[in-house]
Amino acid sequence: MKKGTDLKSRFILVLASLALVVIMAACGSAGATGTPSATETATAAATETATAEATGTTTPEATATATVAATTETPTAAATEAASGTAAFPMTITDDAGRSVTFKTAPKAVVSLAPSNTEIVYALGQDSKLVGVSELDDYPPQVANKKKIGGGFQPNLEEIMALNPDLVLTIGEYPDLTTQLESKGLTVLVLGPKDLDGIYNDIEMVGKVLGAEDAATKLTADMRTRADAVEAKVKDAPKPKVFFEVDATDPTKPFTAGPGSFIDILIQAAGGENIAGKAATQWPQLSSEEIVAANPDIIVLGDASVPTNPQSPDTVAARAGWADIKAVKDKAVYGIDTNIVSRPGPRIVDGLEAVAKLLHPDLFK
């Protein structure tokens, strides 16, 4: 053999060896299964090609075989999870109650005990996993087809157990309920956000647990962008005084939204001043005298579409002393769907945008 040919052969063999090292390192062993792994196939093909090149008998088919074999390694489980955006199991999550909850696998049967939790599951495209919801759930409309397991405050534990869920989504206001559910051997995740960031985090937490991490990230990114856009628009605008009516069963002393409520958070984020923002509780009652004295610029009726005793601009104007309120005089009394401003779920930014349009119509034409 000529010296030049010999050097070329050695060079080819070195390259083939290096290629094999890279393939073996990247793919690992397929295990002793009795069937050649993709790595083994690539090794054999690459060796054959290198030998053929060294002896001057290379064919295009041999080269192609080595190339295809080296690039069709079956992805590992970790690689598949990384590509799909799902998290690895088992996983441990810290919920909004500060509890550490461990999941061995992604839940396949979920019970939701709050409308906001149900809306999160639907928004993530995981509604096929919902086997039971509370009687209060009404959105999206197709939730009407789901099994109802009682009220969110007092669900039917026997019906929940019969559904054999591997995850129960509840809310933070009822720690005794969580204890009851856990005593039955059920896995419980508590959602109890305190602000908009908390809602985004909860959506991402549920997405991670249900194997819908990518959908959750996309959803919260959109929500953040929309909320930021609202706050940027109203940043330098005057702040109108707002009275938000929650329940006027007693019109002389209606319930309203106080500090810490999502309604109060939205009023502030939408560029308004809540006249009950310094009340002692989240859901205070204000007397007619207090409301008239506060003289709000805008009145928002969360009870405009309730089934019992719905309120309207006319009923508000007819209340004793209310005709002198600036909002009534200016015909700035509006109804709103209270669910989009009070449920800590994916529609909360819809609520923010709706409130902002009522407070600053000129900015949101």
Question: Quick one: 39 and 128 in the same domain?
Answer: no
Domain encompassing residue 331: 237-363
> What are 213-253's pLDDT values in tens digits?
999 999 999 999 999 999 999 999 999 999 999 999 999 99
Beta bridge partners of 274: 242
How many residues appear in the chain?
365
Residue 81 lies in a domain: no
Is 32 buried (19+), middle (13-18) or exposed (0-12) by CB count in 10 A? exposed
The last residue of a domain, from among 74, 105, 133: 74
Instruction: Please name the residue ranges forming H helices in 192-284.
Output: 196-209, 213-234, 262-269
Residue 79 lies in a domain: no
The last residue of a domain, from among 169, 196, 226: 226
Residue 203 lies in a domain: yes
Residues 6 or more apart whose Cβ sits within 8 Å of residue 165:
107, 109, 110, 111, 131, 132, 186, 187
Note the pLDDT of residue 94: 97
Question: Quick one: 220 and 243 in the same domain?
Answer: no
- Unique residue bearing structure tokens 């996309």: 218
Of 161, 112, 117, nearest in space to 132 by CA: 112
Q: How many other C-beta atoms are found inside a 10 Å radius of the C-beta of residue 296?
A: 24
Question: Quick one: 161 and 35 in the same domain?
Answer: no
Question: Quick one: 245 and 207 in the same domain?
Answer: no
**Phi-psi label, residue 125: left if phi above 0, alpha if psi -120 to 50, beta otherwise:** left
Residue 281 lies in a domain: yes
Residue 61 lies in a domain: yes
Asked if pLDDT for residue 308 goes beyond 50, the answer is yes
- Note the pTM of the prediction, 2 decimals: 0.77
Residue 285 lies in a domain: yes
> What are 309-347's pLDDT values in tens digits?
999 999 999 999 999 999 999 999 999 999 999 999 999
Rounded to an integer, the average pLDDT of 126-153 is: 94
Question: Quick one: 32 and 102 in the same domain?
Answer: no
Of 184, 51, 30, 56, nearest in space to 111 by CA: 184
Question: Quick one: 241 and 347 in the same domain?
Answer: yes
Q: Which CATH number fits the domain that encloses residue 219? A: 3.40.50.1980
The two beta strands, 298-301 and 241-247, are parallel
